[in-house]
């Protein structure tokens, strides 16, 4: 009984991940500039990859036909999800900072840019 519950919850998480990927794809096409599109990419990465990996881990734990290998599959999925959870925001921040510093991406419309203000004051390089 508990195995079916794990499989159903896992399938729901995989479906939520597919919806997050769809929303991120729409956001990439609809958002106005690079930085907002990068936000959509990060939402797609966390919601569209982290959540399904946790779902895969639950499905693997509920799949008795895998035998002892289900624990390896679930463990690998959880480790990959945790790595993704920590590394995806760091990577997108590094990309955004590099694009801002090199002025490769024009920010328009811009309301406030604290990084540019600090650079003009000489607080940062």
What is the tens place of the pLDDT at every residue in 97-125? Answer: 898 888 888 777 777 777 778 878 877 76
Residues 93, 86: Cα–Cα separation, whole Å: 12
Residues 66, 56: Cα–Cα separation, whole Å: 13
- The values of phi and psi at residue 111, to 5°, are -100, -55
Q: To which residue do tokens 């919806």 refer?
A: 19
At 107 the three-state DSSP class reads coil
Could you report the per-residue pLDDT of 4-50, keeping only the tens digit for each? 999 999 999 999 999 999 999 999 999 888 888 898 888 888 999 99
Q: Which domain holds residue 95?
A: 2-121
How many domains are contained in the chain?
A: 1
Q: What percent of the chain has pLDDT over 90?
A: 58
Helix (H) or strand (E) holding 25: helix 2-30
CA distances from 89 to 38, 45, 46, 83, 97 (A): 10, 9, 9, 11, 12
Is 44:20 a contact under the CB 8 Å cutoff?
Answer: yes
């Amino acid at each position: 009984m508990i195995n079916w519950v794990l499989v159903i919850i896992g399938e729901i998480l995989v479906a939520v991940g597919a919806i997050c990927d769809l929303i991120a794809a729409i956001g990439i096409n609809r958002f106005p500039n690079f930085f907002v599109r990068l936000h959509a990419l990060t939402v797609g990465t966390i919601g569209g990859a982290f959540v399904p990996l946790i779902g895969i881990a639950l499905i693997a734990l509920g799949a008795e036909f895998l035998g002892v290998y289900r624990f390896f599959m679930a463990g690998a999925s959880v480790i990959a999800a945790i790595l993704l959870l920590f590394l995806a925001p760091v990577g997108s921040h590094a990309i955004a900072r590099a694009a801002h510093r090199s002025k490769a991406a024009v920010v328009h419309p811009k309301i406030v840019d604290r990084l540019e203000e600090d650079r003009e004051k000489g607080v940062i390089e």
